[in-house]
Amino acid sequence: MSMSVIRAAEIKIAEAKKNGLIKGPVHLGVGQEAIAVGVSKNLRNSDRIFGAHRSHSHILGVDNDLHKLFAEVLGRNTGFSYGMGGSMHLASKSKGFLGSVPIVTGTVPLALGAGLASKLQKSGDIAISYLGDGATEEGVFHESLNFARVSNIPILFVVENNLFSSHMHMSLRQPLNTINRFAKAHKIETRLIDGNDVVEIYRTTSEFIRKMRSKPEPYLIEAITYRWFGHVDWREDIDVGVARSKKDLLNWKKRDPIKRLSDAMINKKIWTKEKQDTLDLKVDELIDENWEKALKDDFPDRKSLLDNVYKYD
């Protein structure tokens, strides 16, 4: 799915959260769309992808069903998780998106196991673990790097370093502003890239993934980026960080991954301003159509409260 659709979907969600239509917390990744889009272009349905709390882009990257995302954040039974998850618990099994949950770093070892499984199954499939800079502060991340390396597990750690863990800037949490040193410490090949450059993300991922499919091994990408909204929900000006200034935000907005791609393509004369405008209109229509549809869907049946606690019974 394209960056513009993901952006528009999240802006729609932001509005709906503001208007009280969405009940649960939503963690928006506006400004960070390039990463999921660049990575996902290299994936196939049998790969195994795990996300976290800010994962709308991660799931849309491989499953373009907007209606299911909207229905899920609205708690409807037609959503990605049949209305049982909301924004923070998303899955799309058939597309290889095997779950995103809000325990920070919780899915990192799960992705590791998914990679281990694919190695044992000799499937050539790989595991993707999306995580944030904050998540690298949990012990299990370091255990996972070590285990991935000693067991040669085909897992790509995609660290979205947006410089913040909720309100705390990197400089208040770690001695350096980048985290790829952890990969180096575990002899894992790594690259520090511009997380707002979709082409660079695509190229790096494609190079790593090609290698991983033929020889199972872990890799780590650190993509530097920035989220435009606060840590949670729709506002820019609350929960935005001890060290986050308006000026920083404006500067980062100038590095908008969508505009950068569009401008670069127009410069190279493979795209035009008119085409961009038509596209934007189409995107808006797509969003509205799916949103309206989702709003009409039902909530899960009250009788289903105890369903799916166990598979047996």
Partner 1 sequence: MCINMIRTSYSDAILSGFDYLLKNYPEVFVLGQGLWSPWYVGNTMKNLDKKYGKDRIIDTPVSESACTGAAVGASICGMKPIIVHPRMDFMLYAMDSIVNQAAKWSYMFGGQLNAPVTIRSIINRGGSQGAQHSQALHSWFAHIPGIRVVMPSTAQDARDLLISSVLCPDPVIYIDDRWLYEQTANLGPIKETPLNAITPKCLKEGDQITIIGSGYSTLLALKASNKLNCDGIDAEVFDLRVLNPLNSKNLLDSVLKTKRLLVIDSGWKSCGMASEVITSIVEQIPTDTLIDQPRRITLPDCPAPSCEVHEKDYYPNEEKIIKFINDEYYF
Ligand X SMILES: Cc1ncc(C[n+]2csc(CCOP(=O)(O)OP(=O)(O)O)c2C)c(N)n1
Residues that bind ligand X in the complex, under the rule CB under 6 A: 53-54, 102-104, 132-135, 162, 164-166, 231
Among 105, 118, 162, 204, binds Mg ion (CB under 5 A): 162
Kindly indicate which of the ranges 89-97, 162-170, 225-233, 245-253 contains the residues binding partner 1, using the contact rule CB under 8 A. 89-97
Query: How many Å apart are CA 190 and CA 204, to the nearest integer?
Result: 10
Which CB sits closer to partner 1, 93 or 184? 93
Cα separations (Å) of 307 from 258, 302, 311?
42, 10, 9
Tokens, residue 108: 């990192």
| The only residue of 4, 40, 118, 161 in contact with partner 1, by rule CB under 8 A | 118
- The answer to whether 135 and 105 are in contact (CB under 8 A) is yes
Closer to partner 1 by Cβ: residue 37 or 104: 104
Phi, psi of 145 (to 5 degrees): -60, -45
Q: Which does 312 bind (CB under 5 to 8 A by kind): ligand X, partner 1, Mg ion, none?
A: partner 1
Q: How far is the CB of 94 from ligand X (least distance, A)?
A: 26
For residue 271, count CB atoms less than 10 angstroms from its CB and return exposed for 0-12, middle for 13-18, buried for 19 or more.
middle
Of 85, 86, 132, 216, the residue at the interface with Mg ion (CB under 5 A) is 132
Q: Say which residues have a Cβ less than 8 Å from residue 255's Cβ, sequence separation at least 6.
A: 196, 226
Packed helices 273-295 and 257-267: angle between N→C axes, nearest 10 degrees: 150
CA distance 182 to 69: 34
Provide the minimum distance between the beta carbon of 118 and ligand X in the complex, in angstroms, as a whole number.
25
Residue 53: contacted member of ligand X, partner 1, Mg ion, none (CB under 5 to 8 Å, by partner type) = ligand X
Q: How far is the CB of 275 from ligand X (least distance, A)?
A: 32
143 contact, one of partner 1, ligand X, Mg ion, none, CB 5-8 Å limit per kind: partner 1
Subset of 35-54 contacting partner 1 (CB under 8 A): 48, 50
Q: Does 301 bind partner 1 (CB under 8 A)?
A: no
Cβ-based nearer residue to partner 1, 142 or 255: 142
* Binding of residue 197 to Mg ion (CB under 5 A): no
Q: Rounded to an integer, what distance in angstroms lies between the CA atom of residue 179 and that of residue 190?
A: 10
| Closer by beta carbon to Mg ion, 163 or else 294 | 163
3-state DSSP call for residue 170? Answer: helix
Considering only CA atoms, give the Rg of the chain.
19
Range 177-181, long-range pairs (CB < 8 A, 24+ positions) = 178/222, 178/224, 179/133, 179/136, 179/222, 180/220, 180/222
Q: Does residue number 140 form part of the binding site for partner 1 (CB under 8 A)?
A: yes
Q: Could you list the residues that contact partner 1 (CB under 8 A)?
A: 48, 50, 80-85, 89-91, 93, 98-99, 101, 103, 106-118, 120-121, 127, 139-140, 143-144, 146-147, 150-151, 300, 307-313
